[in-house]
Amino acid sequence: MDFYISVHTMTKLDNILNNYKRQILRDFYDINNLTIDYQSYENKYLIRKINKPFIKHNEYNRNNCIAYIWKKNYGKIQCTHSKKNNNFCKRHINKQNYGIINIL
């Protein structure tokens, strides 16, 4: 099943979550009388690094399993194991979590 969420909805949700996080951090800061200034305390927990996966364009390898896998920093790529049965490796014969490559 594929779902599509608009950028506007994702931005709105992100803003709601960040405001909620700020409220929790402010309450914790006030209750515990921390010595660090509030702005640096907030930045420590709210600023996040966004690691966008770079896309690795692989050519289809006919000798490998036709299931897709998710590889950190690469995204969705073809499984690198050899075919064993019905175009799949032992790991993906029964379950393909990220789909399969369409063979025409």
Residue 33 has pLDDT above 60, yes or no: yes
Is residue 97 over pLDDT 90? no
Where do we find the tokens 């920093």? Answer: 73
- Residue 70 φ/ψ, nearest 5 degrees: -105, 120
pLDDT in tens, 38-88: 888 888 888 766 666 555 566 788 899 999 888 877 778 889 899 988 889
Model-level pTM?
A: 0.46
- Angle CA 27–28–30, to nearest 5: 65
- Average pLDDT value over all residues in the chain: 83
Could you count the other beta carbons within 10 Å of the beta carbon of residue 79? 22
Domain ranges within the chain, ordered by starting residue: 7-46, 51-104
- Give the residue with greater pLDDT, 26 vs 52: 26
User: DSSP label at 82?
Assistant: B
